[in-house]
C-alpha cells in the first residue's frame, strides 16, 4: 500500500470534527445499561443500543464508530449476564444484530469519507477557478482605495454571471468594469469568463473607452455567433449589461460608458447621488456598434473623499418575504465613514438580513474611494 492510500486510510479512522458530541452515544449506552439492569424483568431496553453506532457515524470517523459499536455490544452482553439471560436466543439475536449494524456503520463511514474527499477536491478546484476568473481587485490603485464583494445566489456556489475587473493604464489612470451576464449556470460563467478575458487583454492599452467598448462587444458577439448556423433562429441571445469607467489619478473626475447597466452611486458626505449618464447604450453583445464614435463617454466629478459604488441588479432587486426591495440608496449613506472594505461588510450583513439569508440573484458591489495625493 502506497503512502497516499495509507494516509487516507488513517484519516478515515479519525474521530471527526465534533468530539464533544461523543457524550450522546456514550450517555445512551450508560443509560440503557443502568435502566435495563434495574428495571423489571418484562422491560427490555437493550435494542436501543443500536442507536449508539448509528448516531456516532453521523459526526465521527470509522474508529469512533467502531468503538461505539463495540461498547454497545459489550453493554448488551453485560445486561444479559446481569439478568442471567445471556445464553437465550433473544439476547444472542440482539448481540448479532448489534454487530451487523456496527459493521455496516463503519463501512458507511469509509464511504462517507471518500465522498468528503471528493467534495473537498471539487471545492478546491472551484476556489482556484474563482481566483483565476474573478480575480480580487487591488486594494490600492493610484489615489484610489478599492474593495469588492461577490454574493452568489446559489448556496455553496462561488461564481455566477456577475463580474468585475480593474486594470492600470500607462497614462496613470484606473479602468474598471462591472457587468452582469444574462442567464445563469455554466453558460453565464463561460460568458463572464469571455468578457473578463477580453477586458484584461485590452483595458491596459492606450485605447479610449469607446474603443474598449467596441472591443468587448465584438469579442462577445463573435464568440456567440461563430458556431451558429445561418438559418438558426436566435431565440437565446447572449448579452451582458456593463459599465466601463476610467478614473484619472490627477483629475477629480470619472469617465464612464453605460451599456444598459444600473447607474453607480456617488457618496459625498451623507448625501448620495445617482451617477446617471444621459446615454445608455445597448448591452454588450447586442450593441452592434462598430464605430467608437457611436459610444458616448460622460464625465462626472469624483473628488477627494468621495466614494463611488458600482453594483449589479442583484442588490437593488433583492426582496424580502413581503416583496419589499432592498433600499440600497437609503442605507449606504449611513456607512459613508467606513473604509470601502468596512462599508461592503456592513452592506453585505444588512442585505442578507433583509432577504433572510437567501438572494434570488447573484449580487456584486465595488466600492471606490478617492484619497488625497
pLDDT, tens digit, for every residue of 264-284? 999 998 899 999 988 888 898
Which grid cell is 262?
444600473
Report the percentage of the chain scoring pLDDT > 70: 84
**Residue 215, phi then psi, degrees to nearest 5:** -60, -45
CA end-to-end span of the chain, whole Å?
A: 63
Instruction: Say whether pLDDT at 154 is over 70.
Output: no
pLDDT at 14: 47
pLDDT at 128: 59
SS3 164: strand
Q: What is the DSSP letter of 58?
A: T
Cβ proximity of 365 and 347 under 8 Å: yes
pLDDT at 161: 78
Please provide the average confidence, as pLDDT, over all residues in the chain.
84
Query: Taking residues 247-252, what's their average pLDDT?
Result: 94
For residue 100, give the H/E element and its range. helix 89-133
Cβ proximity of 77 and 94 under 8 Å: no
Top-confidence residue, 371 or 291? 371
Instruction: Say whether pLDDT at 145 is over 80.
Output: yes
* Secondary structure percentages of the chain, helix, strand, coil, to 5: 45, 20, 35
pLDDT at 225: 62
Give 101-126 pLDDT, tens digit per residue: 989 999 988 888 888 787 777 666 65
Taking Cα atoms as reference points, which of 274, 269, 297 lies closest to residue 369?
269
- Which of 12-26, 97-111, 344-358 shows the lowest mean pLDDT across its residues? 12-26
Which of 106-115, 156-165, 184-193, 326-335 holds the top average pLDDT? Answer: 326-335
Q: Give me the count of residues in the chain.
A: 373
Sorted by sequence, the CB contacts under 8 Å of residue 4 that are 6+ apart come out as none
pTM: 0.69
Instruction: Quote the Cα angle for 276-280-281, to 5°.
Output: 160
Which of 125-129, 135-139, 179-183 holds the top average pLDDT? Answer: 135-139
SS3 184: coil
pLDDT at 318: 92
Amino acid at each position: 500500500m502506497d503512502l497516499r492510500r495509507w494516509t487516507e486510510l488513517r484519516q478515515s479512522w479519525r474521530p471527526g470534527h465534533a468530539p464533544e458530541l461523543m457524550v450522546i452515544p456514550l450517555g445512551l449506552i450508560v443509560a440503557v445499561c443502568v435502566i435495563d439492569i434495574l428495571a423489571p424483568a418484562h422491560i427490555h431496553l437493550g435494542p436501543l443500543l443500536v442507536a449508539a453506532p448509528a448516531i456516532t457515524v453521523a459526526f465521527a470517523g470509522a474508529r469512533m464508530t467502531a468503538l461505539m459499536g463495540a461498547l454497545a455490544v459489550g453493554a448488551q452482553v453485560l445486561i444479559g449476564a446481569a439478568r442471567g439471560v445471556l445464553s437465550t436466543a433473544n439476547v444472542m439475536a440482539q448481540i448479532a444484530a448489534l454487530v451487523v449494524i456496527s459493521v455496516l456503520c463503519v463501512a458507511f463511514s469509509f464511504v462517507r469519507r471518500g465522498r468528503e474527499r471528493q467534495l473537498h477536491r471539487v471545492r478546491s478546484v472551484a476556489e482556484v477557478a474563482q481566483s483565476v476568473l474573478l480575480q480580487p481587485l487591488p486594494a490600492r490603485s493610484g489615489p484610489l482605495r478599492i474593495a469588492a464583494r461577490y454574493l452568489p445566489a446559489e448556496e455553496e456556489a462561488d461564481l455566477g454571471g456577475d463580474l468585475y475587473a480593474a486594470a492600470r493604464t500607462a497614462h496613470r489612470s484606473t479602468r474598471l468594469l462591472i457587468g452582469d451576464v444574462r442567464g445563469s449556470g455554466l453558460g453565464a460563467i463561460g460568458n463572464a469568463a469571455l468578457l473578463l478575458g477580453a477586458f484584461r487583454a485590452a483595458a491596459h492599452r492606450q485605447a479610449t473607452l469607446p474603443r474598449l467598448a467596441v472591443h468587448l462587444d465584438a469579442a462577445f458577439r463573435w464568440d456567440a455567433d461563430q458556431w451558429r448556423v445561418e438559418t438558426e433562429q436566435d431565440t437565446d441571445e447572449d448579452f451582458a449589461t456593463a459599465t466601463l469607467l476610467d478614473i484619472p489619478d490627477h483629475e477629480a473626475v470619472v469617465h464612464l460608458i453605460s451599456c444598459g447597466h444600473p447607474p453607480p452611486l456617488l457618496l459625498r458626505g451623507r448625501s448620495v447621488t445617482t451617477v446617471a449618464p444621459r446615454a445608455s447604450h445597448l448591452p454588450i453583445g447586442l450593441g452592434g456598434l462598430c464605430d467608437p464614435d457611436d459610444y458616448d463617454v460622460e464625465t462626472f466629478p469624483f473628488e477627494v473623499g468621495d466614494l463611488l459604488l458600482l453594483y449589479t441588479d442583484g442588490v437593488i432587486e433583492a426582496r424580502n418575504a413581503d416583496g419589499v426591495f432592498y433600499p440600497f440608496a437609503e442605507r449606504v449613506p449611513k456607512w459613508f465613514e467606513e473604509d470601502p472594505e468596512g462599508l461592503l461588510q456592513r452592506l453585505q450583513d444588512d442585505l442578507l438580513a433583509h432577504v433572510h439569508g437567501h438572494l434570488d440573484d447573484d449580487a456584486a458591489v465595488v466600492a471606490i474611494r478617492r484619497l488625497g495625493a
